[in-house]
Structure 1
Amino acid sequence: MAKELKDLTKRSVNYSQWYNELVVKADLAEQSAVRGCMVIKPYGYAIWEKIQRQLDDMFKETGHVNAYFPLLIPKSFFSREADHVEGFAKECAVVTHYRLKNAEDGSGVVVDPTAKLEEELIIRPTSETIIWNTYKNWIQSYRDLPILCNQWANVMRWEMRTRLFLRTSEFLWQEGHTAHETKQEAEEEARKMLHVYSDFAEQFMAMPVVRGVKSASERFAGAIDTYTIEAMMQDGKALQSGTSHFLGQNFAKAFDVKFVNRENQMEYVWATSWGVSTRLMGALVMTHSDDNGLVLPPKLAPIQVVIVPIYKGDEQRAMLAEKVAPIVAKLKTMGVSVKYDDSDNKRPGFKFADYELKGVPVRLVLGARDLENGTIEVMRRDTLEKSTHALEGIEEYVGNLLNEIQENIYKKAVDFRAAHTYEANNYEEFKEKLDLGGFVLAHWDGTPETEAQIKEETKATIRCIPLEGDKTPGKCVLTGKPSECRVVFARSY
């Protein structure tokens, strides 16, 4: 394990390589036999489960319910909403046959040419089409609205260049799909879910985000407006960490989903969709971790506290286990996930390095001499500081320390973002600030042509038009034309 840590590339040397190595070395995920797809390992999946459980609770608190819709979508469904099919056409995996057979020459199995589907099926890249085809059966009257459904699922988007968690061909996510009586209600839903995402990112992931709306060229395919939360990684690049879309009546019109309104007239339903994915795992790694390994916010850490005894012989081992048992029990009653590791097949130094690499927030170490003195050693992962504390009352101290760590790593991320957020008032200044890495707040004239030119020349995109903050008008950094407000530019993942 010491060698594993020594071999971990430093962030300052190659940030991208550091990330790739850390995801593998910390047992979060690995490449699979299928190109572009990943295996999420148990430790990584345990973090995803905590993300999933908390978000699911937050969705249900806002009135949403879970459902499940088919993985396979008829190809014809994608032809009904022109912008939607154009947005996803190049990423779709297509099922053309339904049967294999043994090759006549005995070389293995081949696709049975007689088993060709009458209509090809698309492995879902997203589920708007299959869901709105279903909603047509569920909605007749305003009394059937709203429908507030969420689905936890996997999706497939054929990617040419992949990176674990950040961009894979298959990934896990949730996708909310809601149907509403009025435009106002649907718009409020889209904004509400954006704030659910931002609250989760900041309160649980300890990751500060900018809430905003996408420019027209960056919108979700088929949306009227796309709301987004944008986070800054430690290399200064932006990561889109969640989106919520106001779909207007586009999908209702595409699938002829109408209802009798309160005036007894037929009207198309108003819609939203919103989602976050296992990309949040990548965000978690890149926002907080350091050259020693993962740094996990306590609220999402699978193991919040690990206790490592230092013993010689079975007698000391039993004595320490007896002393620690009530500490473990009390921590668990406090809702703290704790592991007591008295395994004898690994040296203490190996255990220390392993739990440090995996980002366990608090490590407690107890030896025979500590028992005599009534003390225990505490190490916090965020700062790597060690201290000695009385055994009595250690549970309350640890509970407070976990809260302190959660707040500290959030503050650290906020301070980092503040130090790497700049304003630019002309194009030369804009390019200079971009090269520093981070967010550049600059005026834009609102045209897709200017946006495209800036992207081509600098590789920076408009991450969002912020919902909060300075709305003072000005002049576009590129064209000098009037601008309503500053927008967030950054290079991104």
Structure 2
Amino acid sequence: MGKNLTSRAEDYSKWYNELVVKADLAENSGVRGCMVIKPYGFAIWEKMQAGLDKMFKDTGHQNAYFPLFIPKSYLSKEASHVEGFAKECAVVTHYRLKNAEDGSGIVVDENAKLEEELIVRPTSETIIWDTYRKWIQSYRDLPLLINQWANVVRWEMRTRLFLRTAEFLWQEGHTAHATKDEAMAEAKQMMNVYAEFAEEHMAVPVIRGVKTESERFAGAEETFCIEALMQDGKALQAGTSHYLGQNFAKAFDVKFANKEGKQEYVWATSWGVSTRLIGALIMTHSDDNGLVLPPKLAPIQVVIVPIYKGMEQLEAISEKINPLVKELQKKGVSVKFDNRDTHKPGFKFNEYELKGVPVRLAIGKRDLENGTIEIARRDTLEKESIAFDDVVTKIEGLLVDIQNNIYKKAFDYREANITPVDTYEEFKEVLEEKGGFVSAHWDGTIETEDKIKEETKATIRCIPLNVEKEEGKCIVTGKPSANRVLFAKAY
């Protein structure tokens, strides 16, 4: 199965599209620009959800749910916010259908026009802040730390499974605070939560940074982000956290009585990651044989394939394997014993390699006689025969080792593909021939940023945090620059 994939070197984009479909993660639907997430793909998302949800709750957040539909008037209350999303909004204008009088089919009932159009949720700031006005009266109601797991719709014209679809799944956090400092601390904290999840669960190294003014979320005063590098040298924004100041509080009149009894506007944040993380996972680790999944997010961590002739041999293998399956499950390992008699072992080996299962065990008649089992790891494709009695300990160590190994491989690739340049000519040359992150000085103006984007298609991915300051001169204008920023072509 996996051997039929286009290679990454031949056509990276085609490789990605084929892999998503062939590995049974998702497919295009009958609705243009929307995808069907299949059970195997959704199982990865569920593991992501579980990991993130625990991290949110550990930092004091609670889950809630808000309407899918947003009155059009709400969106117009915060000017920069509506401007940022206006071109992507799906609008509901009517609430009823009817049979056409000429019998040609179903048509919209022209008498069922809504008094006010409803926007299908592109993001929930407006409906949530309208709600918070009722929830917040006093400093005792703060901080308000709410997260929502939901779907959103942004009318994309050029779509790609997981990376960019008209409808996608995500979580969005929305918090209210008594002071500016508390809100800023929250926005930074959530960026760090995302970074920790990406690195420790997804095994994807990320760079923490701040967006430039032109790349900020619509309505935000500061946007913090984590940026990852894919194997084709393009960057992918893996998560964002926004300090919103008092913009939405003022737009929706959300005030609280402080300890002195004076009325103040609250300070806000919002933050989110989406099913685009599955795209990041695929493009960071996978190879020409198929998916390579980190054990912490793999729906199946261990698969066991019996090699047998006749039901008698299968029964003997099953008798040996069933207690092993139970022992691994008790230790929290997700394991599958594939005893289907409809497919040959070779087909199964290919199938699980394509699906990125971290560890594969194979056992046949000779193994039973010798008290051994073959163990193969997906990340390096190495295999060895070990004593059956050692298999549980070996698997526990192997799952940790695979998680660490694929992180290190991605980290080493990322580090080798951050290139400092000092001239615009060098900048363009690196972008064209090498790709990756290009570290360069920029004069801080939107004009220069736009010029670079127009001429090279590269954008400023972030102004990196936690790096030493290095003064220099802008590669385009020669004007003074306080620090290097990271450019890249991006998804």
* TM-score relative to the length of structure 1: 0.99
1:469 aligns to what? Answer: 467
1:455 aligns to what? Answer: 453
Among 141, 155, 162, the residue aligned to 2:159: 162
Whether the aligned pair in 2 keeps the contact of 1:186 and 1:246 (CA below 8 Å) is: yes
5+ residue gaps, structure 2: none
State the AA in 2 paired with 1:186. A
1:403 aligns to what? Answer: 400
d(CA) in 1 for partners of 2:292, 2:149 = 27
Among 427, 431, 441, the residue aligned to 2:439: 441
State the AA in 2 paired with 1:487. V
Does residue 8 of structure 1 match 2:5?
A: yes
Using the TM superposition, give the Cα deviation of residue 325 of structure 1 relative to its aligned residue in structure 2, in angstroms. Answer: 1.2
SS in 2 for 1:302: coil
2:187 aligns to what? Answer: 190
1:366 aligns to what? Answer: 363
* TM-score relative to the length of structure 2: 0.99
Does residue 88 of structure 1 match 2:85?
A: yes
Among 296, 301, 306, the residue aligned to 2:303: 306
1:346 aligns to what? Answer: 343
List aligned pairs for 1:378-389, cutoff 5 A: 378-389=375-386
Whether the aligned pair in 2 keeps the contact of 1:306 and 1:340 (CA below 8 Å) is: yes
State the AA in 2 paired with 1:309. P
2:71 aligns to what? Answer: 74
Does residue 428 of structure 1 match 2:425?
A: yes
State the AA in 1 paired with 2:419. Y
d(CA) in 1 for partners of 2:198, 2:387 = 35
2:391 aligns to what? Answer: 394
Whether the aligned pair in 2 keeps the contact of 1:298 and 1:304 (CA below 8 Å) is: yes
State the AA in 2 paired with 1:457. E
321-330 or 109-118, which moves further after superposition?
A: 321-330
Whether the aligned pair in 1 keeps the contact of 2:374 and 2:385 (CA below 8 Å) is: yes
SS in 2 for 1:455: helix
State the AA in 1 paired with 2:393. E
d(CA) in 1 for partners of 2:3, 2:241 = 41
Using the TM superposition, give the Cα deviation of residue 454 of structure 1 relative to its aligned residue in structure 2, in angstroms. Answer: 0.6
Q: Deviations over 1:277-301 (max 9, x none)?
A: 0000100000000000000000000
Using the TM superposition, give the Cα deviation of residue 393 of structure 1 relative to its aligned residue in structure 2, in angstroms. Answer: 2.0
6-15 or 80-89, which moves further after superposition?
A: 6-15
Whether the aligned pair in 2 keeps the contact of 1:142 and 1:181 (CA below 8 Å) is: yes
SS in 2 for 1:177: strand
Whether the aligned pair in 2 keeps the contact of 1:470 and 1:486 (CA below 8 Å) is: no
417-426 or 212-221, which moves further after superposition?
A: 417-426
Does residue 242 of structure 1 match 2:225?
A: no
d(CA) in 2 for partners of 1:56, 1:217 = 31
1:482 aligns to what? Answer: 480
Count of matched residue positions in the alignment of Structure 1 and Structure 2: 490
Sequence identity (%) = 73
1:199 aligns to what? Answer: 196
Whether the aligned pair in 1 keeps the contact of 2:3 and 2:288 (CA below 8 Å) is: no
Superposed CA RMSD in Å reads: 0.6
Structure 1 stretches of at least 4 aligned residues deviating more than 3 Å after TM superposition = none
d(CA) in 1 for partners of 2:71, 2:13 = 38
List aligned pairs for 1:259-278, cutoff 5 A: 259-278=256-275
d(CA) in 2 for partners of 1:400, 1:327 = 16
Using the TM superposition, give the Cα deviation of residue 312 of structure 1 relative to its aligned residue in structure 2, in angstroms. Answer: 1.2
Using the TM superposition, give the Cα deviation of residue 470 of structure 1 relative to its aligned residue in structure 2, in angstroms. Answer: 2.7
SS in 2 for 1:113: coil
Using the TM superposition, give the Cα deviation of residue 7 of structure 1 relative to its aligned residue in structure 2, in angstroms. Answer: 2.6
SS in 2 for 1:173: strand
d(CA) in 1 for partners of 2:303, 2:396 = 13
1:112 aligns to what? Answer: 109
5+ residue gaps, structure 1: none
d(CA) in 1 for partners of 2:250, 2:8 = 49
State the AA in 2 paired with 1:467. L
Does residue 19 of structure 1 match 2:16?
A: yes
SS in 2 for 1:151: strand
Using the TM superposition, give the Cα deviation of residue 108 of structure 1 relative to its aligned residue in structure 2, in angstroms. Answer: 1.3
List aligned pairs for 1:46-85, cutoff 5 A: 46-85=43-82
d(CA) in 2 for partners of 1:358, 1:311 = 23
Does residue 30 of structure 1 match 2:27?
A: yes
SS in 1 for 2:360: strand
